[in-house]
Structure 1
Amino acid sequence: MSKDRIIDFLDKQLENLDNFNYKVDEDENHVYAIFSEILGKYTNKELTFKLLDDVLYLHSITYGWKPVEKGVANKYFWLEILSKA
């Protein structure tokens, strides 16, 4: 699985925003974005992504696997990243 697609998605979402630091790691099935800072608050939040049939999905404890690139589907990213941030 390519980390580049997830990094591009994150860069687009966080464009023009400061105080976000993260690293990206991957295994055979998923890509993980591990945030050490969100909006200036230090954290250890991990987001899990996967590509399925060329669609990028994000896993949320509340909503399960949700596609995040089309339309306003990025709201699931923002709901997850800002929950308990």
Structure 2
Amino acid sequence: MSKERIKDFIDKQLENLDNFSYKLEEDENHIYAIFSEILSKYTNKELTFKLLDDVLYLHSITYGWKPVEKGVANKYFWLEILNKA
């Protein structure tokens, strides 16, 4: 799995925003983005990503697995990251 691709996706989403802090962790099937700061609030929010057939997916508790790189699909990233941030 490509941590670099997920890091690039997150960094693109957070471009020009300084008040976010996260780290990436990986297991056999998924990569986890663990945020310690979101919009200057300290948190322990975890987002789960996976690559399937070269498509990057994010798991949302509300929406399930959603591809997040094409069109306006990044809205699922923002819905999940800002939910109870």
In structure 1, the partner of 2:48 is 48
Letter in 2 for 1:29: N
1:5-42 superposed Cα distances (whole Å, 9 cap, x missing partner): 00000010000001100000000100000000000000
In structure 2, the partner of 1:83 is 83
Aligned-residue identity in percent: 89
Aligned residue pairs: how many? 85
Letter in 1 for 2:55: V
1:37-81 superposed Cα distances (whole Å, 9 cap, x missing partner): 000000000000000000000000000000000000000000000
TM-score after normalising by structure 2: 0.99
**Structure 2 alignment gaps of length 5 or more:** none
In structure 1, the partner of 2:69 is 69
Using the alignment, how far apart are the partners of 1:56 and 1:71 within structure 2? Answer: 13
Give the match's secondary structure for 2:10: helix
Matches within 5 A, 1:1-85: 1-85=1-85
TM-score after normalising by structure 1: 0.99
Give the match's secondary structure for 1:62: coil
